[in-house]
Structure 1
Amino acid sequence: MLAPLCSLLNLMLEAFIGNAYSLSLYISILHKYLSLFGGYDYYTA
C-alpha cells in the first residue's frame, strides 16, 4: 500500500519541478523579448 503511494508522490513532485522549471524558463525568455524592444522591466528592483 505504501510503495505505490510513494511512487505517485515522487511522480507528482517531478512533474511539479518540471513545470516550475519550464515556467521560469518561459518567463525569462519573455523578459528578454520585452527588454529587447524597450518594454517595461518588471523584474529588476
Structure 2
Amino acid sequence: MVEKRMIASRFWKLAQLNDFNVKQYKQLKEEIKQLDERIEKLKVKL
C-alpha cells in the first residue's frame, strides 16, 4: 500500500507541474497493476 501511495504521489507531482506525458502515465499504470498482482499473491498466502 505504501508503494501505491508513493506512485500516486509521484503521479500528482508530475501532473501539477504539467511535466507529464502518456509514456509516464502508462508506466505508472503498469507499476500499479504489478503492485496489485503482488498484493493479491500475498493475500492468497495468508
TM-score (norm 1): 0.56
Stretches of 4+ aligned residues off by more than 3 angstroms: none
Taking CA–CA contacts closer than 8 Å with sequence separation of 6 or more, which of the two structures ends up with the larger relative contact order? 2
- Residue 45 of structure 2: aligned partner: 28
Larger helix share, 1 or 2: 2
Shift of 1:14: 0.3
Structure 1 unaligned regions, length at least 5? 30-45
CA RMSD in angstroms comes to 1.2
What whole-Å deviation, never above 9, does each CA across 1:1-45 have from its counterpart, x for those lacking one? xx600000000000000000000000111xxxxxxxxxxxxxxxx
Instruction: Count residues in correspondence.
Output: 27
Percent identical among aligned pairs is 11
